[in-house]
Amino acid sequence: MAHIVTSKCRGCKFTDCVEVCPVTCFYELDDQVIIHPDECIDCRACVEECPVQAIYADTDLPSEFEADIEFNATQAARIKEAGQDAIVQKKEPLPTAAQKKAELGY
């Protein structure tokens, strides 16, 4: 089992989650972070840290985010194969993060 970063992260890219992760399973895209499913140890530490509740266990994932399972797996593999390291330190969110957070109701 793994955790999934959903499209709710797109446009925010809060990285509070990476600081509490005991393994290095988060990878960075231009507009969001994703989790490599083979590296996630299902500890749930990241779930509570996300300010927009964009992270779910794959077994708890609302059906509207089903496509994000494949998206996380494919993109994480692509990034890792390209030699990019996992993200392990918190970074500034995107400039659109506050607006996206408000739109999501958080």
- Please give the domain boundaries of the chain with CATH numbers for all domains: 3-83 (3.30.70.20)
Element (H, E) at 84: none
Using the predicted structure, report yes or no on whether residue 106 has a pLDDT greater than 80. yes
Using the predicted structure, report yes or no on whether residue 1 has a pLDDT greater than 90. no
Q: How far apart are the first and last CA of the chain?
A: 27
Reported pTM: 0.94
Single out the residue of 22, 87, 9 nearest to residue 51, CA to CA: 9
**pLDDT tens digit sequence for 49-85:** 999 999 999 999 999 999 999 999 999 999 999 999 9
Single out the residue of 37, 19, 47 nearest to residue 75, CA to CA: 37
CA-CA distance, 94 to 106, in Å (whole number)?
Answer: 16
Average pLDDT over residues 31-59: 96
